[in-house]
């Protein structure tokens, strides 16, 4: 049996992973499941999958988890250190789907045991791409991309020489507000930003889709994972969300990856790699679809994209600054403290503050240093928010 763990099991990626595992549960020995505040879901999945360990990120929910798993053989634990220890338990394949910078330390812990890490936590590559990739190389571990765009790029490069790659194009749905008049965006509410036209995701990723901060993160991810220059990375708004990414080669050819907007495509590819297996996903009927549309993103509507290219140009640990500021600005928008467009404004001001601080940004990329930068960026974002709101 193949030993697997799922970090972030109660989120949308984790639940889609569990859906695939349940279809062939006899093939897997589930070592650990981790989650957040959805204790009932975490306990239910731990019991049904006969997991060895269940961990909640919240120490104050430990007793609730323990009660939910009373009478079973499932171990329980809670807190950040427990998440790291869960990732350290020997497994052949580990899904990293914890949301935010909190997923970095468990992901590094998993890589240090030389396993295959299915990476859905985009913040890890944005904050500490070099550290993550160096750790994988040092321990003969493997990182497989699970973001649909990066999985698509990865598949488009099978059998290809990277030196022949001319450009990489990732697509964006445009989010819930893509058809809004520009002058109305400043007044967009939390509820309006959360109504994605193509799929149902978690609150934070849906808002990041509307602001295109998720795509800004994916641009940085593309550079880190595939080693291409920022100038080789392009973004197109593609409302149908069926073309996930395209790879352009020096002979003018473009390889496009198409599929229904279903994360089980990318998860299944990583789970079964290097093989392909049947997946319970929709098969595209291109004749019925009729047409696919693409457009260049408007920089005034999506300022986050320009900030991503600025981060890549500066280098060092500016990715950690960007992510920390973005996460904090998103917190403030969700809390109703700032408007929709103020998120990008806050991130820009934080980048301004850190850009010339070479003593911080160009320091050695260690986990401690990345977490320190992340903390400082969040603090600065709070200061900017306080000044902007008076």
> Cβ of 92: how many Cβ atoms within 10 Å?
14
Number of domains making up the chain: 3
The answer on pLDDT for 200 being more than 70 is no
Instruction: Determine whether the annotation assigns residue 122 to a binding site.
Output: yes
Mean pLDDT of 261-276: 96
Mean pLDDT of 12-36: 96
In a domain, 360, yes or no: yes
Instruction: Determine whether the annotation assigns residue 85 to a binding site.
Output: no
In a domain, 62, yes or no: yes
What is the Cα Rg of the chain in Å? 20
Q: Per residue in 327-351, pLDDT tens?
A: 999 999 999 999 999 999 999 999 9
Per-residue confidence band for 101, with pLDDT thresholds at 50, 70 and 90: confident
Percent of the chain with pLDDT over 90: 92
CATH classification of the domain holding 34: 3.40.50.720
**Alpha carbons 161 and 258: distance in angstroms, whole number:** 21
Instruction: Determine whether the annotation assigns residue 10 to a binding site.
Output: yes
Q: Are 11 and 93 contained in the same domain? A: yes
Q: Are 162 and 95 contained in the same domain? A: no
Q: Are 140 and 167 contained in the same domain? A: no
Q: Are 242 and 167 contained in the same domain? A: yes
Q: Are 125 and 182 contained in the same domain? A: no
CATH classification of the domain holding 357: 1.10.1740.10
Instruction: Determine whether the annotation assigns residue 315 to a binding site.
Output: no
Instruction: Determine whether the annotation assigns residue 36 to a binding site.
Output: yes
Per-residue confidence band for 291, with pLDDT thresholds at 50, 70 and 90: very high
The answer on pLDDT for 192 being more than 80 is yes
Instruction: Determine whether the annotation assigns residue 196 to a binding site.
Output: yes
**Alpha carbons 143 and 161: distance in angstroms, whole number:** 19
In a domain, 202, yes or no: yes
| pLDDT value at residue 97 | 96
How far, in Å, are 7, 126, 218, 234, 306 from residue 240 at the CA level? Answer: 30, 26, 18, 18, 23
**Which of 96, 115, 145 corresponds to the end of one domain?**
145
Helix runs in the chain, H state only: 12-22, 39-48, 62-68, 80-88, 104-111, 122-138, 148-156, 190-193, 203-211, 213-226, 264-272, 286-289, 303-314, 318-334, 342-354, 358-361, 367-389
In a domain, 242, yes or no: yes
Mean pLDDT of 146-159: 96
Instruction: Determine whether the annotation assigns residue 3 to a binding site.
Output: no
Mode of pairing for the β-strands spanning 75-78 and 116-119:
unpaired
Q: Are 48 and 180 contained in the same domain? A: no
Contact status, residue 195 vs residue 215, Cβ threshold 8 Å = no
Q: Are 25 and 84 contained in the same domain? A: yes
| pLDDT value at residue 199 | 65
DSSP H or E segment with residue 234: strand 233-237
Mean pLDDT of 183-191: 94
In a domain, 309, yes or no: no
| pLDDT value at residue 118 | 98
> Cβ of 294: how many Cβ atoms within 10 Å?
13
| pLDDT value at residue 287 | 96
Q: Are 7 and 113 contained in the same domain? A: yes
| pLDDT value at residue 367 | 96
Contact status, residue 307 vs residue 348, Cβ threshold 8 Å = yes
Q: Are 135 and 181 contained in the same domain? A: no
Burial pattern 119-132, b for ≥16 Cβ within 10 A else e, equals bbbbbbbbbbbebb
Q: Are 328 and 379 contained in the same domain? A: yes
**Which of 101, 123, 145 corresponds to the end of one domain?**
145
**Which of 145, 180, 209 corresponds to the end of one domain?**
145
Point out the least confidently predicted range of 35-39, 62-66, 357-361: 357-361
In a domain, 177, yes or no: yes
| pLDDT value at residue 198 | 66
Instruction: Determine whether the annotation assigns residue 209 to a binding site.
Output: yes
Q: Are 179 and 95 contained in the same domain? A: no
Residues contacting residue 317 through CB under 8 Å, at least 6 positions apart: 127, 128, 360, 361, 362, 363, 365, 369, 370, 373
Instruction: Determine whether the annotation assigns residue 218 to a binding site.
Output: yes
| pLDDT value at residue 205 | 87
| pLDDT value at residue 147 | 92
Q: Are 58 and 162 contained in the same domain? A: no
| pLDDT value at residue 48 | 97
Instruction: Determine whether the annotation assigns residue 12 to a binding site.
Output: yes
* String of DSSP letters for 211-228: HTHHHHHHHHHHHHHH--
Instruction: Determine whether the annotation assigns residue 5 to a binding site.
Output: no
Instruction: Determine whether the annotation assigns residue 149 to a binding site.
Output: yes
In a domain, 305, yes or no: no
Instruction: Determine whether the annotation assigns residue 38 to a binding site.
Output: yes
Per-residue confidence band for 387, with pLDDT thresholds at 50, 70 and 90: confident
| CA nearest neighbour of 201 among 262, 257, 247 | 262
**Alpha carbons 55 and 238: distance in angstroms, whole number:** 38
Mean pLDDT of 308-313: 97
In a domain, 221, yes or no: yes
Q: How confident is the prediction for the chain on average, in pLDDT? A: 95
- The whole domain housing 62 covers 2-145
Instruction: Determine whether the annotation assigns residue 346 to a binding site.
Output: no
Whole-structure pTM value: 0.94
| pLDDT value at residue 390 | 65
Instruction: Determine whether the annotation assigns residue 48 to a binding site.
Output: no
Answer with the residue of higher pLDDT: 343 or 102: 343
């Amino acid at each position: 049996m193949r030993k697997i763990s799922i970090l972030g099991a109660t989120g949308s990626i984790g639940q889609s992973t569990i859906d695939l595992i349940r279809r062939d549960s006899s093939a897997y020995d589930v070592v650990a499941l981790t989650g957040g505040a959805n204790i009932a879901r975490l306990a239910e999945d731990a019991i049904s999958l006969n997991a060895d360990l269940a961990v909640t990120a919240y120490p104050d929910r430990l007793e609730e988890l323990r009660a939910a798993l009373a009478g079973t053989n499932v171990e329980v634990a809670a807190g950040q250190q427990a998440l790291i220890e869960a990732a350290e338990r020997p497994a052949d394949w580990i899904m990293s789907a914890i949301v935010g910078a909190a997923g970095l330390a468990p992901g590094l812990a998993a890589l240090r045991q030389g396993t295959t890490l299915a990476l859905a936590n985009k913040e890890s590559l944005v904050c500490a791409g070099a550290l993550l990739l160096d750790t994988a190389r040092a321990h003969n571990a493997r990182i497989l991309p699970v973001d649909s765009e990066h999985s698509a790029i990865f598949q488009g490069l099978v059998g290809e020489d990277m030196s022949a790659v001319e450009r990489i194009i990732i697509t964006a749905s445009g989010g819930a507000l893509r058809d809004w008049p520009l002058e109305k965006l400043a007044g967009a509410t939390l509820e309006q930003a959360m109504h994605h036209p193509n799929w149902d995701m978690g609150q934070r990723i849906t808002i990041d889709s509307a602001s295109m901060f998720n795509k800004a993160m994916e641009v940085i991810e593309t550079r880190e994972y595939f080693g291409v220059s920022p100038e080789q990375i392009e973004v197109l708004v593609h409302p149908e969300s069926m073309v996930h990414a395209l790879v352009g080669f020096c002979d003018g050819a473009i390889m496009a990856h198409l599929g229904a907007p279903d994360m089980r495509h990318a998860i299944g590819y990583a789970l079964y790699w290097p093989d392909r297996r049947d997946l319970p996903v929709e098969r595209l009927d291109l004749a019925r679809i009729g047409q696919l549309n693409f457009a260049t993103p408007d920089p005034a509507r999506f300022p986050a994209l320009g900030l991503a290219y600025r981060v890549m140009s500066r280098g060092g640990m500016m990715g950690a600054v960007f992510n920390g500021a973005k996460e904090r600005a998103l917190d403030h928008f969700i809390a109703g403290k700032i408007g929709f467009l103020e998120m990008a404004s806050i991130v820009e001001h934080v980048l301004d503050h850190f850009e010339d601080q070479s003593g911080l940004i160009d320091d050695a990329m260690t986990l401690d240093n990345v977490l320190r930068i992340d903390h400082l960026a969040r603090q600065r974002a709070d200061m900017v928010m306080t000044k902007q709101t008076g």
